Amino acid sequence: MKVIICPGIHSSELTKSFLGSVAEGTKPPIKWLVLPTEEHPPYSPIAVYNWLNQPKIIQEELLFITFSAGVVGGIGAAIALQTQGVKIKAFVAIDGWGVPLWGNFPIYRFSHDYFTHWSSAILGTGKESFYCDPGVEHLDIWRSPETCQGWIVSNGSAQKIRSSAKDYLQKIINC
């Protein structure tokens, strides 16, 4: 499986910190591919699609983890690739506030606070969602998911499960 990382518009150090946290504890073999945002705008579905649309990449199942502006480019690319027969294992949208989420694959929405979680729900929450409680700053959920505590919410259920963003991401990756 390949994990596609579509970061937002921020320092690459934040993405390195994110990968250092989340990759530790995942089950191999996983290939991590990070969209080079200095060459491809993360908010452009066409740019993300063109970067991914290579036989060596799309021959395997893909799991998307996207953040902020990267959610916009990632969801469009994932939908386009799936229409071409590429297997999308799951799509994780971290703080993609205001971005509609839909697709024929499992979708998980992560939010840095309850307001973002609640106000994004009208645009699609996906299979399950997660929000930080207490809320954190927007970049903190990407920089340090291990420090972000919150709630996993199963859609269609009132049940909530306490977790860290890192632990929940690893659960999604390892399933």
Q: What is the pLDDT of residues 87-103, one digit of tens each?
A: 999 999 999 988 999 99
**Quick check: bond before 29 cis, omega within 30?**
yes
Lowest-pLDDT choice from 48-57, 64-73, 141-150 = 48-57
Cα separation, 53 vs 100, whole angstroms = 23
Yes or no: domain 2-174 corresponds to CATH 2.60.40.10:
no
What's the confidence (pLDDT) of residue 57? 78
Helix (H) or strand (E) holding 143: helix 140-143
Q: Are 8 and 40 in contact (CB under 8 A)?
A: no
pTM for this one?
A: 0.96
Tokens standing for 129? 């969602």
For residue 111, list its beta bridge partners.
131
1-13 mean pLDDT: 96
Q: Which residues pair with 14 in a beta bridge?
A: none
Q: Which residues have CB under 8 Å from 36's CB, separation 6+?
A: 51
Rounded to 5 degrees, what angle do the CA atoms 100, 84, 94 make? 30
| Contact call for residues 42 and 73 (beta carbons, < 8 A) | yes
pLDDT classification of 19: cutoffs 50, 70, 90: very high
Please name the residue that has the structure tokens 């929405």: 109
